Structure 1
Amino acid sequence: MICFLQELPTDSGFFELGSDPDSSCAPDNPVRWKLFFASKHRSVVRVVVLGDIGQPVYHVGDEAMTHAVVDELRARGVSDIVLLSRDPEQSTRIFGTESVKTLEFPWPPHRRETYLREIRAVLAGDMTALPAEDQVHALIETLKTCDGVVIAGGGNMTSPYGWLLYERAAVGAIANALGKPLVISGQTVGPVLTGPDYDTVVELFRSATLTSVREQTSWDLMRNAGVPAGLTLDDASFFEVDHALPAALELDQVTYKPRADRPFLVATFAPGTGAMDRDAFNQRIAEVLDRIADAGNLDVVMIPHMSHPGQADIDIETHQDIRRRMTTENVMVCGQLSAEESASLTMQAEVVVASRYHPVVFALSSGVPCLGIAVDYYGEVRIGGALANWGLGHTMRSLRHLATPEFDAFVDQFWASRGDIRSYLKQMSPAQGDFQRAWWDFVVETLKGSRPEAPVLVSPEPAFLELASGEHPAVAQLTANNELHIGHQSVELFGLTNLLEDTRGSLGAMEAVRDGLNQVTSALAATESEGHHLRIERDHLQEKLQLLESSLLVRACRKLRLLPR
C-alpha cells in the first residue's frame, strides 16, 4: 500500500492514520495527520485536451505543446486524459493516453461559420440541425464523460487558420453547453481576424473559466475586447526531456549526436519567406549561418519542425537548399525528429537561429542565445512576443533588417554577446519557471472546480539594448499595418472566392433542376396532347355506337335475343 503524509483540515474527508488497521506507516501521534490512499480515495479528474496533433504533416511545435499539457497535468495528479486528434491511433501511441477523433471543419470561411451555427443549434436542442451521423455527436458524448476541457496553446486563433479556430470554438461551445470547466492556455490571438472570426474568438474566451495568451500583442487585443485573459509563456516553455533517452517516436533516422568537445548551432527555417524572394532569403540565411559557424567553429545542425514523415519536404527541403548555398562543411540536415528529440537538441545548442517559433521557445527556457528572424507580421508577433517575455523582444529581426548590409554587424555583435545572454537567461529562468508552474497549478485547480484569477506575466525590462534595432518604431508599425491590411484582404478574398464557387455550384444545381422540370413539363404536355386525341377518338366512337344501337339490325337482333338488351 502506497501512502502519502500531509497535514490536512479535519473535515477533509480522508482517513486518519491509525484508523485503518492495516496501516503500517502511522506516526506515533497521528492527531491531525491523515492518510491519502492514491488508489482508493484520490479525487479522479478526467480531462479532454485539444491540441493540433495527429496531422498528416508532423509539426514539432504543436506536438510539443500537447506533450507539455499532458506532462503538467500528470505531474499534478491528473492521469485520466483524452486527446482530441486527427489520428487517434498515432496520438495514443505517442502520448500514451486515450485519444478520439476531433472535429474537422471545412476551410472556406462561410462554410465553417455555417457549421458552427449548426453545432450551436444542436447544443440548443435542435437535433434536426445536423444529421444523426454527423461527427459532432460522438464528440459531445466524449465530453459528457469528462470533468473539464483544456485547449492547448498555439497560433491557431487567426483567420488564415480559421478552420482550426472554429474547431476550438466548437469544442468550447460543447464544454459550455455541458457545464464543463474550460481552460484555454497559451494562445496567440490574431493578428489577422475578420469580423466574424473576431466575434468567434471573443465569445470563446468569454465562455472559458480560465484563459491565457502568450504575448503582449494578444493580451492587448483581448483586453481591448473586454475579455479578462491571463498572460503566460508558451505551453512548451520548460518542456522537460531526458537528453539520455531515445525519441518517443522515431520519425527519421537522420539525426545528430552531440559531442562534449564539439559545440553546435541549431537552425530551423520554414519555406515561407514573406515578401522576400525565396532564393534571396535562403542565400542570405546561408551567409548568416556560415558567419556564425566560422566565428565559433561550430557544427550546424538543421532541425525541421514540419514535414511529412518519410518525405524530404517542407522544412527539410528548405534546409537542403540552404545547405547547398553554404560554404561551411560541417552541416547536417536532419530528418523529421520527434518533438522530444528536436527540443532536446535545441536545448543543448550553443546558439539557435530560426524563423520558426518553437526553436526560440526551447532556447529561451534552457538558457540558449537565439536569433529569431520573422518573415511576416504574424512571425513578428509570435517570435518578438516570446523574446519580449524574457526582456529580449528588441533582438528579434525581420526581413527589413535581413536585407540590409548592417545585418552582418548585428550578427557579429550578437555572437560576441552570447555568453552574457546565456548568463542572463539562466538568471531569469528560476522566476520564469516558477511563474509557469503556478499557471499549471491554476489550470488543475480550475479543472477541479475552482475559479482562480488568471496570472499576468510582468515582462522584464529590455536587456542588451545595444542589440536593439535602429529602425524607428513608427516605420515598423506602418509595415505591420500594411501586412495586416493585406492579410485581411487575402482572407476576405479567400472567403469570397469560395462563396462564389459555392454560388456557382448552387446555380448549376438549380439549372439542373430547372432542366429536369422542363423535361417533366414537356412530358406532361405530350401526355396532355395525347389525352386530347384520345378524347376525340372516344367521342367519335361513342357517336358510332349510338348510330349502331339505333339501327334496324341491332333492334331486330335484340328482339330475337341474339344481343343483350
Structure 2
Amino acid sequence: MNKPKILMLSDITGLGPDYHVGDEAMAEVAIDRLKALVGAENLILGCASPEKVPTTYGIRAFSFYHTPSKEFKALLFKKPLSFFKAIFTNIYQVIKCDKVVICGGGNMTSEWPGVLEARLRLLKVANFFKKDVYFVSQTVGPFTNNHRKQVDAIYAPAKWIGVRDKNFSHTQVSHKVSFALDDACFLEKKHNEYTKDISNKNTNYACVAMRKFGPMSDDDTRKIGSCIQQVISKDSLNTVFIPHHAPEGTEGDIKLINSIEDLWEENTLHIVNPIPLASSLKALTADSEYVISMRYHQLIFALSIGVPCIGIYVNEYTKAKLTGSFESLGLEPLVTHYNDVESNLPMLVQRAKANRHSFESAANSFLQNMTADSMKPYELLAAEVS
C-alpha cells in the first residue's frame, strides 16, 4: 500500500500582486493538511498562475487555465496546438494521480463560468479514468439550467461533496452533500511585523472589506463607503481597510478604496497595502472591535475568532455566501443588501456589538466541535492506495 498522489485544483496564485486573500486562505489550510497526511511530494496543484505556488506553499504546480467552453472550442480553429495541449495536460495529470480534489479557492458556480467549465472538462477525464473525486469547502451554485445538467452528471461518481453552507448548496445539486465549516475557519492567525505595526498604531479600530460587484455603480460604492465611515466614526474608532484582491497591486479593492478615501478624516483610515498573507490579516482582524464586510472571507475570519461582524451583499450568490457564514456557526445572519445600508447598517452594528458574547461563544464551541467534520474528507483523501 502507498500514499496517494493527489491532484488539487484551486484558483490561487501564491503570494504576489494577484494574491486573493479568501481563495489563498482556504488553499493554505487544504495544502497544509494534505502535506501533513501524504507529504508534499505527493501533491500537485493546477491553477492559472502557478509560478509562485512552490515558493509560497512548498508543492509542485502546473498551469490550468479557466477558459470558458465556447472560447475553448474556438481554440481548435484559432490555436489548435493550445487546444490539444490543454486536453493532453488534463489527461496526463489525471493519469499520474490517484485522486482529485477541488478545494478553495474558486467555487463551482455559473457566476464564474470559466472556472466551472474548465473544471468540468478535467472532471470528465477523471471520471473516465475512474479516479476518486472530492470537493471540499465549496459553495455549490447557483447554476444555469445547462450547467446544472452537466454538474449533476459529473458529480454523480464523486466520493465527497463538501459544502460550507447549510441552507443553499444542497438545493443546487441532486446528490448528497456534506456540511463543514469553511476551511479558512481553521487558518492559524499569525501577525507579521507589518500587520502588528498596523494594529499597534491604530489601537482601537474596525476592519472594513469592500468590493465592487455585479450591478454596483461608482455612486453605490461611495454611498456604502460614506455610511460605513459615519457608523465607525460615531464609535470613535479608526478604520483599517483590508483589501482581499488587488490585481497588479493597484486594481480591485485598492482602486475602490483610493476612490473614496476622502470620505475619512485625516489619520482615521489605514489601507493595508501591499496585501500580506491571509494568516496575518486574520491576526489583524482579531485585534479589531468589529468588522463590516462585503467580502465573504473577511466575515469568516471574524466569525471563526469571535469578532462581531456585519455583511453587505449584492445578489443571490453573495447573499447565500454571507448568510451561510453566520448560519454555519449557529448565528443569526447580520446582513443587508447594499441598497439598504443607510437604513440598516447602524442598527446591525449596534446588534453585533451588543451580542459580542454570542460571537465569542459560537467561535469557541463550533470550532471545537466541528474540527473532525472538517478533517473527514482529507482523511479519506489520504487513505492509502494499492
Q: TM-score, normalised by structure 2?
A: 0.87
Q: In the alignment, which residue of structure 2 is the partner of 1:509? A: none
Extract unaligned runs of 5+ from structure 2: none
- Give, as a single letter, the amino acid of the residue that structure 2 aligns with 1:395: L
- Given that 2:195 and 2:284 are in contact with CA atoms closer than 8 Å, whether structure 1 keeps it comes out as no
Name the residue aligned to 2:171.
221
Whether contact under 8 Å (1:184, 1:205) holds in the other structure is no
Aligned equivalents of 1:410, 1:383: Cα separation in 2: 14
| 1:484 paired residue number | none
Counterpart pick for 2:52 among 58, 83, 90 = 90
The residue aligned with 1:59 is: 20
Is the contact between residue 266 and residue 346 of structure 1 (CA under 8 Å) also seen in structure 2?
Answer: yes
User: What are the within-5 Å matches in structure 2 for residues 163-562 of structure 1?
Assistant: 163-191=114-142, 193-222=143-172, 225-243=173-191, 245=192, 257-259=198-200, 262-272=203-213, 274=215, 277-295=217-235, 297-311=236-250, 313-327=251-265, 329-337=267-275, 338-404=277-343, 407-415=345-353, 417-428=354-365, 431-448=366-383
Does the CA contact (< 8 Å) of 1:290 and 1:327 recur in 2? no
Whether 1:73 aligns to 2:21 is no
Contact 1:352 1:368 (8 Å CA) reproduced = yes
Q: Which structure 1 residue ranges, 4+ long, deviate > 4 Å from structure 2? A: 129-133, 253-256
**Structure-to-structure mapping, 1:112-151, within 5 angstroms:** 133-151=84-102
> 1:408: Cα distance to partner?
2.6
Write the distance in 1 (CA, Å) between the matches of 2:64 and 2:133: 16
Secondary structure of residue in 2 paired with 1:421: helix
Alignment of 1:105-116 (within 5 A): 105-106=67-68, 110-111=70-71
Instruction: Tell me by how many angstroms 1:444 deviates.
Output: 2.4
Residue 103 (structure 2) aligns with: 152
After superposition, the C-alpha distances for 1:363-418 in whole angstroms (9 at most, x for unaligned) are: 111111111111222110100111111223431111353143x5433333433x15
Identify if the C-alpha distance between structure 1 residues 105 and 210 changes in structure 2 by more than 3 Å, giving closer, same or farther. same
Q: How high is the sequence identity, in percent, across the aligned residues?
A: 24
CA distance in 1 between partners of 2:325 and 2:368 (Å): 14
Distance 2:170 2:268 in 1: 44
- Tell me the CA shift for residue 353 of structure 1: 0.8
- Partner-residue secondary structure (3-state), 1:386: helix
Q: CA deviation at 1:324?
A: 1.1
Separation in structure 1 between the aligned mates of residue 189 and residue 196 of structure 2, nearest angstrom: 16
CA distance in 1, matches of 2:333, 2:177: 24
Q: Secondary structure in 2 aligned to 1:190?
A: coil
Q: Which has the higher contact order (CA 8 A, sep 6+)?
A: 2
Deviation by residue 1:252-272 (Cα, 9 ceiling, x = unmatched): x89952229913211110022
1:127-153 deviation line (CA, Å, top 9, x unaligned): xx9989422212322222222111003
Partners of 2:213 and 2:314 within 8 A in 1: yes
Q: Aligned pair in 2 of structure 1 residues 153, 210: CA closer, same or farther (>3 Å)?
A: same
- Higher Cα Rg, which structure: 1
Mapped to 2, the partners of 1:414 and 1:176 lie a distance apart of 46
Q: Number of residues paired by the alignment? A: 378
> Compared with structure 1, are the counterparts of its residues 446 and 347 closer, same or farther at alpha carbon in structure 2 (3 Å cutoff)?
same
Distance of aligned partners of 1:255 and 1:242 in 2 relative to their CA distance in 1, 3 Å threshold: closer
